[in-house]
Chains A and B, each alone.
Chain A
Amino acid sequence: MLLATTGDRLNRVTVLAAIVGLLALLGPSWLLLKANRLVAGEAVGAFALSSPYAYALLGVWGLLLVVSFFRFPGRAWGLALLCTLALTLALLLIGAGSSALLAASSDPERARVSLQGGVWLTLLALYIGFFGTLGEAPQRSGARALMVLPGLALAVVLVLTSFGSVGLAQELTSQGGDFTAEVLRHLALAGTSVLLACAIGIPAAIWAARREEAARLVLPTASFLQTIPSLALFGIMLLPLARLGREVTVGEALLFSAVGLALMFAALFLSRRVSGRARGLFTLLTMLIALLPVLLLTVMVAVVLNDVFVALFSLDLGALTFPSSLSAPLSSLGVRGIGTAPALIALTLYALLPIVRNTYTGLVEVPGAATEAGRGMGMSPGQILRRVELPLALPLIMEGVRASSVLSIGITTVAFLIGAGGLGTFIERGISQQVPDLILLGALPIIGLALLADALLRGLGQLVTPRGLR
């Protein structure tokens, strides 16, 4: 959009894509054949695979280069078609090339084929190509989706059907059910922490938008939390959480939370009757009283919610187990020094900032005339919030949730450090076993999930934006 304005005859972006694609194809290393999983291998260029797909791909990139220079009506569709074609051919080349290499190797049982620089560069070229195509595409979201989605669908099918000989797929097979389990765990951790961050962050931001003192407390806190190294956070929480899990029963925890919440609401109710300076003091007192019970309740909700997510994602609600009695220790619920509890706490704290910041900005930027009109027409503060401020701030809030989700999916990678699993597990295994394909098995799905969450929440954000604001 920035580079390829619709008035230009030359689409500079797709030119770049074609050049990168050609370089990748003509480069010396497309795949890597190794005698077994651990030894160093030997790089093979695309044309050394003696596959017709390589020549076809060469042709498509060349055509893309030519088409990029001549503008004609509907060129965007042509560019989209060429990019889709290039994607298909590249994947076919990888699949067929890997099979050919394996078959020709001395010991096909042990030998492994890894993806090399040429493949990654080709993927980059395809990304640039689609980006440049959308840059000159019509703004209708239907047309734009039609340009990209068939290629993506085709890619999924091809990867699933023809990648059997690629090392990555063999690692996946050898990990067996672990892979699915870790993906689900990863999603559950990230999803739970974003939900909790919304539940905490949005009210906190509303409070901050209402009162300046609150803003001075909430915003720096959310920023500060992001600066704590995750490892340190895990270390700090280890012992307290372990003790909590061991020595406190589920019943006690529930009772403590209930009493704390009751005290909080009582204090809140009373603080409405107090005026002036005393009110601020009262609010502070209320918060101090409620702090621990609310934290405890939040942690309990977090671990249970996470279990529910895992069960839901794996379509196996039977796997959901709850402590049999109230006298069971909290650890039976999952609150332990290691595992999901500390991971969820850390991830939630990290997920807060984008949500808090965007909600706050969204509310503060609601035009004063709108709130004044609401007040003048007899809306209560709650009605102004629900009917005027939140709808107007919603696009920005959704943007915060989106940013937070992408961030969380990335950060959840460290959850394996405290024994909560997730896709980071494969990365760690790959590093310790020195198997690059295994590292990729962890890293690629993380990127995929992040992109997917990004696209879905972007779409949702568009959907919930009131028409009058678009």
Chain B
Amino acid sequence: MIRLEGVSKRYGEQVAVQETTLAFPEGELTVLIGPSGCGKTTTLKMINRLIQPSSGRIFIGEREVTAVDPQDLRRGIGYVIQSIGLFPHMTVEENIQVVPRLLGWPKARSAARAHELLELIGLEPGRYAKSYPKELSGGQAQRVGVARALAVDPPVLLMDEPFGAVDPLTRERLQDEFLRLQGELKKTIVMVTHDIDEAIKLGDRVCVMNVGAVEQLGTPEEVLANPKTRFVRQFVGSDRALKRLSRLRVRELMRPAAALELSASAKDAEAALARQRTVYVTRSGQLVGWLDRRAFAFDPVIERAYTEVSPNYAASEGDDVRQALSKMLSQGVAELPVVAASGELVGLLDLTGILAVTVQAAPDAAEAA
């Protein structure tokens, strides 16, 4: 756990961070977010003493950071900077081994660790260990930057806009990968970003800052559903109801779907269609299309009467609800079948279900308007 107790940073008359008291819980990812100049980066850099606090105390666990030699301190904290900052004259492997080498690890051990990390981030060591940073794509370089920060398995990771230097498509993929990684590693992470969507997607907790002070600290859901101050409400945006949906997974909102196997008898189909207007059609569990009353009445053979759908018509159970809603709107339907990664039909998501969770935020939305 990282604790800041009454920490301030002043540059002459200018106050960058003001009397801030904060705690970052163990094993969680806390995002510091705010407009530029709000003190988020200063706060981050005071934790590993790249910036000296003017007053106040900072603890990592029970250790006060000012009591430790700054270089020793930093070697024990993973650090990822915005522009990644890989050393261009060192190979990927050498870059990852920087901190192990500084700590005097034996060569064999640090080399083995570098290979292990390359595998962890999905870069094949045989192919990439001896490459130079200029030979990597932006996304690969960013992953190596993360691997380098993890080299000595530090309990704490500081990340300064770690996904800032890559294109939006790659960023989304890297964020997903990173979430998966963090799910396994459970590091205590403090991350700075100015992208509210990134904060909501990645953060276990979000800390909104403005002019050197914390405006609100809470889970993304709390911050979105219940902005404490006018500034936070403005900052998270008028579409915060929509943003909250991106925290929800489709599988959390879906309900069971009525399904009919292609091989089912006409009688079964009749029975199913008596209960509702349309049913989804599957072939050994895999979604293949849907069948409605009118078509079946016209030609009562399932295989001829059903309407085929393409695989990406359905929502994935792992998608966030915001993506699924967007799919509904673009396809002009009020409900979507939900499939697992295997393509198996697992349920359906409809507007009623989405509305049920968004109305909780409605009073605030009215207030904001």
Q: Do A and B bind each other?
A: yes
Q: Which residues of A approach B to under 8 Å, CB–CB? A: 367, 369-370, 372-380, 383, 387-388, 391-392, 466-469
New contact pairs (8) apart from A370-B85, A378-B76, A378-B102, CB-CB < 8 Å: A369-B82, A369-B85, A376-B81, A376-B158, A378-B99, A380-B71, A466-B88, A468-B132
Is B182 in contact with chain A by the CB < 8 A criterion?
no
A-B pair number, CB within 8 angstroms:
71
Smallest CB separation, A354 vs chain B (Å): 23
Q: Tell me which residues across on chain B come within 8 A of A377, comparing CB atoms.
A: 74-75, 79, 98-99, 102, 148
The answer for the CA separation of A370 and B90 in the assembled complex, in Å, is: 11
Smallest CB separation, A357 vs chain B (Å): 22
The answer for the CA separation of A380 and B158 in the assembled complex, in Å, is: 19
Among B72, B84, B102, find the residue whose CB has the most chain A CB atoms closer than 10 A. Answer: B102
Q: Do the beta carbons of A369 and B89 come within 8 Å of each other? A: no
Q: Do the beta carbons of B74 and A375 come within 8 Å of each other? A: yes
Is B43 in contact with chain A by the CB < 8 A criterion?
no
Q: Tell me which residues across on chain B come within 8 A of A466, comparing CB atoms.
A: 88-90
Q: Do the beta carbons of A378 and B87 come within 8 Å of each other? A: no
Q: Tell me which residues across on chain A come within 8 A of B70, comparing CB atoms.
A: 378
**Quick one: given A376-B48, A468-B133, are A369 and B71 in contact (CB under 8 Å)?**
no
For B85, the closest partner residue in chain A by CB is A373
Q: Tell me which residues across on chain A come within 8 A of B102, comparing CB atoms.
A: 377-379, 383
Q: Tell me which residues across on chain B come within 8 A of A378, comparing CB atoms.
A: 70-76, 99, 102
Q: Tell me which residues across on chain A come within 8 A of B88, comparing CB atoms.
A: 367, 370, 392, 466, 468-469
**Quick one: given A467-B132, A468-B132, A468-B133, are A379 and B85 in contact (CB under 8 Å)?**
no
Residue total for B at the interface (Cβ-Cβ under 8 A): 29
The 8 closest A-B pairs by CB, nearest first: A373-B85, A468-B132, A378-B74, A378-B75, A466-B89, A369-B85, A376-B79, A369-B83
Is B175 in contact with chain A by the CB < 8 A criterion?
no
Q: Do the beta carbons of A370 and B74 come within 8 Å of each other? A: no
Q: Tell me which residues across on chain B come within 8 A of A380, comparing CB atoms.
A: 71
**Quick one: given A375-B50, A378-B73, are A468 and B89 in contact (CB under 8 Å)?**
yes
Q: Tell me which residues across on chain B come within 8 A of A374, comparing CB atoms.
A: 87, 98
The answer for the CA separation of A367 and B134 in the assembled complex, in Å, is: 14
Q: Do the beta carbons of A376 and B74 come within 8 Å of each other? A: yes
Among A367, A376, A378, A387, find the residue whose CB has the most chain B CB atoms closer than 10 A. Answer: A378
Complex interface bits, B33-63 against A, C-beta within 8 A gives 1, otherwise 0:
0000000000000001010000000000000
Q: Do the beta carbons of A468 and B134 come within 8 Å of each other? A: yes
Q: Do the beta carbons of A373 and B91 come within 8 Å of each other? A: no
The answer for the CA separation of A370 and B86 in the assembled complex, in Å, is: 6
Smallest CB separation, B69 vs chain A (Å): 9
Q: Do the beta carbons of A468 and B81 come within 8 Å of each other? A: no
Complex interface bits, B12-51 against A, C-beta within 8 A gives 1, otherwise 0:
0000000000000000000000000000000000001010
For B101, the closest partner residue in chain A by CB is A387
The answer for the CA separation of A380 and B48 in the assembled complex, in Å, is: 14
The answer for the CA separation of A373 and B74 in the assembled complex, in Å, is: 11
Q: Tell me which residues across on chain B come within 8 A of A388, comparing CB atoms.
A: 87
Complex interface bits, B133-176 against A, C-beta within 8 A gives 1, otherwise 0:
11000000000000010000000001000000000000000000
Q: Do the beta carbons of B72 and A373 come within 8 Å of each other? A: no
Q: Tell me which residues across on chain B come within 8 A of A372, comparing CB atoms.
A: 50, 81, 85
**Quick one: given A376-B50, A378-B74, A468-B88, are A369 and B99 in contact (CB under 8 Å)?**
no
The answer for the CA separation of A378 and B48 in the assembled complex, in Å, is: 9
The answer for the CA separation of A97 and B99 in the assembled complex, in Å, is: 70
Q: Tell me which residues across on chain B come within 8 A of A383, comparing CB atoms.
A: 102
Per a CB cutoff under 8 Å, which of A375, A376, A468 touches B90? A468
Q: Tell me which residues across on chain B come within 8 A of A367, comparing CB atoms.
A: 83, 85, 88
Per a CB cutoff under 8 Å, which of A369, A391, A467 touches B84? A369
The answer for the CA separation of A468 and B76 in the assembled complex, in Å, is: 28
Smallest CB separation, A241 vs chain B (Å): 44
The answer for the CA separation of A211 and B158 in the assembled complex, in Å, is: 29
Q: Tell me which residues across on chain A come within 8 A of B90, comparing CB atoms.
A: 466, 468
Q: Tell me which residues across on chain B come within 8 A of A375, comparing CB atoms.
A: 50, 74
Smallest CB separation, A386 vs chain B (Å): 12
Smallest CB separation, A384 vs chain B (Å): 10
Smallest CB separation, B11 vs chain A (Å): 15
The answer for the CA separation of A373 and B79 in the assembled complex, in Å, is: 8
Complex interface bits, B319-355 against A, C-beta within 8 A gives 1, otherwise 0:
0000000000000000000000000000000000000
For B135, the closest partner residue in chain A by CB is A468
Smallest CB separation, B293 vs chain A (Å): 63
